[in-house]
Amino acid sequence: MRPSCGCTVAEQPREPIAPGGEGQIRAVFNSEGRTGINHKTLFVTANTKDKQEFSLQFVVQVEKQEKKAS
């Protein structure tokens, strides 16, 4: 599994996923300095029969955070 950029880190499932089973892939996106709409992709390689390459895409809206007065 590999993210499309260095601002996204993905964790592989700890256990193999059986055929027909389900699993989760957790991804963390570092939004620092990336306000606005961000499109990110995770490229997943699996040992499936017909297709081995998959892409998971997500869109994140990052809003600028207001600084608090001291």
Rounded Cα distance between 31 and 28, Å, is 9
- Decide: 29 and 60 in contact? Cβ < 8 Å: yes
Cβ atoms of residues 1 and 45 within 8 Å:
yes
In a domain, 49, yes or no: no
pLDDT in tens, 27-58: 999 999 999 999 999 999 888 888 889 999 99
pLDDT band at 1 (very low <50, low <70, confident <90, very high): confident
Does any domain span residue 52? no
What the block records as the tokens of 24 is 């989760």
Q: What's the confidence (pLDDT) of residue 70?
A: 67
User: Residue 6: inside a domain, yes or no?
Assistant: yes
Residue 1, in any domain of the structure: yes
Specify the pLDDT at position 59. 94
What's the domain range around 33? 1-12+26-42
Asked whether the beta carbons of 8 and 27 are under 8 A apart, the reply is yes
CA distance 58 to 70: 36
pLDDT digits (tens, 9 = 90+) for 7-29: 899 988 888 888 888 889 899 99
pTM of this prediction exceeds 0.75: no
> In this structure, is residue 58 part of a structural domain?
no
- Total number of domains in the chain: 1
